[in-house]
Each structure stands twice: as C-alpha cells, then as structure tokens.
Amino acid sequence: MVKIFPNNKKDGFTLVELLVALTLFTFVVLAAVSSLYAVNNASRKVNAMRGVLDNLNFAMESMSRTIRTSDNIICGGTVNPPGVTHNCAFPTGPATSRISMHSTLAGDYDVEYRLNTTAHQVEKRVDEGSGYGNWLALTSPEINVQALYFYVSGADSYDGKQPGVIIMMQGIATASTGDTTPFALHTFISQRATE
C-alpha cells in the first residue's frame, strides 16, 4: 500500500524571493535609465556643437564664394604702397589676417575680410561705391577665432598666373552646453576664370 502525504506547501514566492527579484529588477531599470540619460545628454551636446560649427562653416563658405568670384585680390587689405606685390604666397610670403578684393558676386563692390583680434571673430565690410561700411561679424561669439591667415598667389596682373587664396583658420568653438572643441580649417580657393 502506498502512503500519500498531503502537500501543505502553497504555490508562489516567498518574501525573500520577491525581495531578491525586486532588487534585481531595480538595478536593471536604473542601468537602462542611466544609459538613456547618457545618450540623451550626448545627443544634446552634439546638436549644440553642430550649430556652432555650422556657423563656422558658413563663414568659411561665404569667404570662399566671394573670393572665387572676385578679382583684384590684395593680400593685407586695401592699403598697399605703389609697386608692392599683392601676393603673399604660401609658404614663403608673410601671412596676413586681412584680405580685400573686388567682388562681382550678386553685384559690383569691394569686400574686405579680417580677424578682429579683440573680439576673436572673422569680420567683413563692403564698399558699394560710397565708402566702406562698418565691420560685421561673420562668426558667432561662441567661436573664438585665435588665428586667421590668408596667403595669396597669382594676384599680380603681370605674373600671368591663376589667382589662388589659401585660408587657414584655427580656434576654439564653445557650445551652449559649455563643451569646447578646438578646430583648424584650411582651404584653397582658385579664382573662377573670367574669360
């Protein structure tokens, strides 16, 4: 004869098992939330920095477009003694943080670009026939331009060369989140053929 013992145990979890499961679940949720927070924070930083760097790219593209469609490019600005070359060729020529030209982009006017060493901004001014206007900043205050160099070659009419300009810019970009990143941009612009 087989003896059957009654099972007095009830199905379910004990209090200790529930506490262990709840603790493990809490750690998993905290890890997931903290990683989501980190991804969200990184995304905000990237978007803030992208906005600042887009402004920097706009300034460089604006200068490039104007130089490409200009003539009478003068290295060092508008003040050049007679008989002095307009060139400051890379790497032997002295670098300058100012350049001027006669632009035919959407009009007929003279343009100058420079580095404002006080505000650490790239600036532009235009002469549409009545004299140069005020300097206007091309870069936002979040962009601290520490160096801006223009090298010009082929700008003298007698040398028979295609004019070209090298722009070198470096500094530090600061996003609204307080994050900073150094930058260094270099580009070569060849003047568009006029004939």
**What is the pLDDT averaged over residues 106-119?**
87
Reference 62, options 109, 110, 105; nearest CA is: 105
- Report whether pLDDT(30) > 70: yes
More confident residue, 193 or 12: 12
What are 9-27's pLDDT values in tens digits? 667 778 888 899 999 999 9
Domain boundaries, the chain: 36-190
User: Percentage of residues in the chain with pLDDT exceeding 90?
Assistant: 25
E strand residue ranges, 66-179:
70-75, 98-103, 109-116, 121-127, 136-137, 143-153, 164-174
More confident residue, 58 or 72: 58
Q: Hunting for tokens 């506490």 — which residue is that?
A: 19
Which pTM was predicted? 0.72
The pLDDT value recorded for residue 31 is 92
Predicted local confidence at residue 26, as pLDDT: 94
* Residue 145 pLDDT: 92
Q: How far apart are CA 121 and CA 17, in angstroms?
A: 65
pLDDT of residue 84: 57
pLDDT tens, position by position, 128-177: 778 888 999 999 898 999 999 888 887 776 667 778 888 999 999 888 88
Residues 189 and 166: their CA atoms lie apart, in Å, by 6
